[in-house]
Amino acid sequence: MLFTIQELERRPARFDVALEPGTIEFFDPKLRQISPLRAHGSVELMSPVSGEIRTRGRLAVEMEAECDRCLEPVRMPLDEAFEVFAVPLDDRRGPGEEVEIHEPDTAVEFYDGSGIELDNILREEILLKLPMRKVCREDCKGICPQCGRNRNAADCECRPGPVDDRWSALKEL
């Protein structure tokens, strides 16, 4: 959904959408959207001079990724308020006229062309809000590096650490 500068110059826009999985491409084969993405909020041109656009609202979605340790699916529900400022990519302001800094944890995006693509804002916001470390549970034991078994399901017989075979050579003497 594109909001053009021309329409935002007239008035702020509102959105209320439910996007099925596949509508937004996440460019990560390990990451899947497994529920509709619901988002509502507003898009507003803050300054016709700088072209700064503020998008804010709330999004809710359930994402799924692979556990970093055992590769089993991990469900990650998100339900977050967000606020994103975007400035034009082809910014031709003179030196010294810096982009206004907002709250330190507020995302600042760039847009090019005629306006703001809501899909891009939502994708970036979801990627930002997902946990860096994706584990199925805090004490996930992961996969055994020796036999490849999922150690959450069953303990394997492998001993930790490299096997020292000098002793077996001694036994044969």
Given the rule CB under 5 A, which residues bind Zn ion?
67, 69-70, 136, 140, 144, 146-147, 156, 158
Nearer of residues 38 and 149 to Zn ion, judged by Cβ: 149
Residue 132 beta carbon to Zn ion: minimum distance, rounded to whole angstroms:
15
Residue 75 beta carbon to Zn ion: minimum distance, rounded to whole angstroms:
12
Nearer of residues 54 and 69 to Zn ion, judged by Cβ: 69
Residue 158 beta carbon to Zn ion: minimum distance, rounded to whole angstroms:
3
Radius of gyration of the CA atoms of the chain, in A? 24
Nearer of residues 72 and 117 to Zn ion, judged by Cβ: 72
Nearer of residues 122 and 143 to Zn ion, judged by Cβ: 143
